[in-house]
Chain A
Amino acid sequence: QSVLTQPPSVSGAPGQRVTISCTGSSSNIGAGYDVHWYQQLPGTAPKLLLSGDNNRPSGVPDRFSGSKSGASASLAITGLQTDDEADYYCQSFDGSLSVVFGGGTKLTVL
């Protein structure tokens, strides 16, 4: 049981827009801690996709964006590409000084 809640799977056709939600609580996202998103391609280590709610590391296309409201956050992917098929994880920090993750969402590009 993950501290942050994500949908197990989402899907979309090439070119479409998809969103992945991440729901926490008043002790983590709701307390104002940053939310970060990671992309994990099959058989590889996760890669930081967005940090501090909506900051893209160098090399991450602007098709990826994040938002946060209250105790929830969302990752949006526009112009969906087949290369985007991966697992996506949200991560935040908890007032107990713990790092917390979502359970992960598998994105399928139809």
Chain B
Amino acid sequence: QVQLQESGPGLVKPSQTLSLTCSVSGGSVSSGNYYWNWIRQPPGKGLEWIGYIYYNGNTYYNPSLKTRLTISVDTSKNQFSLQLNSVTAADTAVYYCTRVRGDSSSGDWGQGTLVTVSS
């Protein structure tokens, strides 16, 4: 049973960089059968796809975030990470990491971590 756990600062100042890591246990980020995904949910709102990465480093980003976004994978640590630059209050959300199957469904989710952008 794969488990995913998000970690990172809960508070980020405007214009700074939001950095989160997803640690994977019970499965390998090197598996060619899955993609590794970030999704966020602003308070009281719906789900927004951020982007995903394949084990070989190929990335696919939400066009609305692409200019500020970097997703990377560290196979040695069995982790993948998110960096979002120049954040504003609109980036305040619960951030989830998920494991994505070939049909694009996210069958496994982390518990989520709330990131607040505020000075």
B36 within 8 A of A: no
B105 within 8 A of A: yes
> For chain B residues 43-81, which have a beta carbon within 8 Å of chain A?
46-49, 52, 60, 62-63
Inter-chain contact B46/A45, CB cutoff 8 Å: no
Chain A residues with Cβ below 8 Å from B48 are: 101
Inter-chain contact B107/A33, CB cutoff 8 Å: no
Chain B residues with Cβ below 8 Å from A52 are: 103, 105
Interface residue ranges, A against B (CB under 8 Å): 2, 33-34, 36, 38, 45-48, 51-52, 57, 89, 91-93, 96-104
Inter-chain contact A91/B105, CB cutoff 8 Å: yes
Of B37, B46, B111, the residue contacting A99 (CB under 8 A) is B37
Inter-chain contact A91/B104, CB cutoff 8 Å: yes
Q: Jot down 19 A-B pairs with beta carbons below 8 A, ordered by A.
A: A33-B104, A34-B103, A36-B105, A38-B106, A46-B106, A48-B106, A51-B101, A51-B107, A52-B105, A91-B104, A91-B105, A92-B104, A96-B63, A98-B49, A99-B49, A99-B100, A99-B104, A103-B46, A104-B46
Q: Is the interface of A mostly helix, strand, loop or mixed?
A: strand
Closest chain B residue to A96 by CB distance? B63
Give min CB distance, A49 to chain B, whole Å: 10
Inter-chain contact B49/A101, CB cutoff 8 Å: yes
Chain B residues with Cβ below 8 Å from A102 are: 46
Chain B residues with Cβ below 8 Å from A57 are: 107
Chain B residues with Cβ below 8 Å from A97 are: 60
Of A2, A45, A46, A51, the residue contacting B103 (CB under 8 A) is A51
**Known A46-B96, A51-B103, A98-B63; further 12 A-B contacts with Cβ < 8 A:** A36-B103, A36-B106, A38-B47, A45-B109, A91-B104, A91-B105, A98-B49, A99-B52, A99-B100, A99-B104, A101-B46, A104-B47
Chain A residues with Cβ below 8 Å from B10 are: none
